Structure 1
Amino acid sequence: MTHPDLAAMRESYTLSGLSVEDLAPDWTTQFERWIAQAVSAGITEPNAMVVATAGADGHPASRTVLAKEVSAAGVVFYTNYDSAKSRALTENPWASATFPWYPLQRQIHVRGSVRRVEPERTAAYWAQRPRGSQLGAWASPQSEVVPDREVLEARQTELEREFEGRDIPVPPHWGGWLIEPETVEFWQGRVARLHDRLRYRRAGSAWLVERLAP
C-alpha cells in the first residue's frame, strides 16, 4: 500500500491575523468571542479541549475532554476522580488545556494549577446531564482494564434496573476539576508559519499581554 507522505503535508494559514489591538481587555471576554465564532462556524464540539497532565512519576499524558464552564476563575471539566487523569492531577495539581479549532486556524492554550470543584457545583452540573451519561459514570471504572465491552454494557443494564423510577445520585468518585490559569494564549495561524501568539499572563492581581515568537 502507498503510505501518505507526512513530511509533505502542510497548510497555508491565511484566514486571519491577531494583533494586541484586536484583543479584549481580559482573557475570558476574548475566549467568549472566539468560542462564539467557533460555534457559528459549525465546529464540532467547540468546547472540546486536550488536557495534558503529569503524575508524580513525571510521565505526561493527554486526552480530550469537554469544558463545561469558563469564567474568570478558570476552566471546569468533569470526570471520574479514580481515573488516570485525576490520579495525576492529585499527585501533581497542574494542567494544560488546548482548544484546537483547526478549521479556523486557531488554538487557545490554558495553563495553570488545578483543584476540585465544590460538591454542590458538581451536583448542579450532574442534574443537567442526560440520564444515559449519568448511568455511564456509575458503570465505567474509568482507566481500568476490562475484559470486554459486554462487561460495561451489562453493568449499565444492571444500573438501569437499580435506579428505575428515581433520580440517579452523583457517584462518590465523580466530580469537577477547575484549571486556574496562570497563562492563556490565543494562537492564530499565519502565512509562512509566522503565527500570531498573544498571551495573557497573570502578574499578581493583574494580567499582562505578551506577544510570543511562533
Structure 2
Amino acid sequence: MPGDFHEAHDPFPVFEQWLEEARASELNDPNAMALATVDSEGLPDVRMVLMNGYDRRGLVFYTNRGSAKGVELAAQPKAAGLFHWKSLRRQVRVRGTVETVDDAEADAYYATRPRLSRIGAWASRQSTPLANRAALEQAVAERDKQFEGVEPPRPAWWTGFRIVPISIEFWLDMPYRLHDRALFSRDGDGGWSRVRLYP
C-alpha cells in the first residue's frame, strides 16, 4: 500500500512520502492545494493556492491579508485543504485551525521569491476590483521603479498562514470505486488516532 497509511501511527511521514512521489509524477505544481474558508455570510469559499512549506506544526501558504481568504481567515481562523494528484490517483484532505506565521518565517520565504513576484506583492491590491490589465501593469512598473537598485522588503500586508491539522485523510483510488481511505484525527494528548473509512 503506498505510504502504508493503514499501518502508520502518524500521518506526517505518509504525507511527506506522497508529496515526494507527487513531485516526481505531477507535471505542474504538485504542492497545489484547494483551500476552503468561510465568508462573513457563512458561505464556503474555495480557491487553489500553493503550499509553500510544511512541518509537524502544519501546512503553510502565503497571501495578502486583504485578500478574500486573508479577510475570511482573520474572522474565522479555520480552513480545509485538498491535494489531488491525478497522475497518482490519490488525494489528501486536511482540516484544522489557522494561525499566522511569525515575521521571521514570512520574511525568510519572501526573500526566496523571484524579484517580480516580490514586486507583485506590493503592486496588487488582491481581490479588489481592477479597471483593466494596464492598471495592474502600471502599478507593477511604479513599484519596480520605487525599489530600483534595492531588494523590496516584505509588505506588512503579505504574510503566511499555517493550517494546524486536526484531521488528515488519505484517499487512494481503487478498482470499481472501492477506494481505500484512512482518517487520522488528533487525540487529546496531541497524538493521532487512525480509522479506516468506507469508500
The TM tier, using the shorter chain, reads over 0.9
Q: Secondary structure, in 3 states, of the residue corresponding to 2:149?
A: coil
2:123 aligned residue: 139
Residues 48 and 64 of structure 1 are in contact (CA less than 8 Å); yes or no, is this contact kept in structure 2? yes
Corresponding letter in the other structure for 1:210: V
In the alignment, structure 1 residue 57 sits paired with structure 2 residue 26: no
Identity, % of aligned pairs? 41
For 2:5 and 2:150, locate their aligned partners in 1 and report how far apart those are by CA, in whole Å: 53
For 1:116 and 1:87, locate their aligned partners in 2 and report how far apart those are by CA, in whole Å: 12
TM-score (norm 2): 0.95
In the alignment, structure 1 residue 169 sits paired with structure 2 residue 153: yes
Residues 77 and 176 of structure 1 are in contact (CA less than 8 Å); yes or no, is this contact kept in structure 2? yes
- Alignment partner for residue 111 of structure 2, among 105, 124, 127? 127
2:75 aligned residue: 91
The two structures, once aligned, show a CA RMSD in angstroms of 1.6
Matched length = 198
Unaligned runs of 5+ in 1: 1-14
Q: CA deviation at 1:17?
A: 9.9
Residues 95 and 168 of structure 2 are in contact (CA less than 8 Å); yes or no, is this contact kept in structure 1? yes
1:101 aligned residue: 85
Q: State the structure with more CA Rg.
A: 1
4+ residue segments displaced more than 4 Å? 15-19
Q: Secondary structure, in 3 states, of the residue corresponding to 2:112?
A: coil
Residues 189 and 196 of structure 1 are in contact (CA less than 8 Å); yes or no, is this contact kept in structure 2? yes
For 1:136 and 1:203, locate their aligned partners in 2 and report how far apart those are by CA, in whole Å: 41
For 1:105 and 1:18, locate their aligned partners in 2 and report how far apart those are by CA, in whole Å: 16
- 1:34-81 deviation line (CA, Å, top 9, x unaligned): 011111224411001000000231111101000011111000000000
TM-score (norm 1): 0.88
In the alignment, structure 1 residue 203 sits paired with structure 2 residue 183: no
Residues 17 and 189 of structure 1 are in contact (CA less than 8 Å); yes or no, is this contact kept in structure 2? no
Unaligned runs of 5+ in 2: none
Q: Does the C-alpha gap of structure 1 residues 36 and 17 become closer, same or farther in structure 2, counting only changes over 3 Å?
A: closer
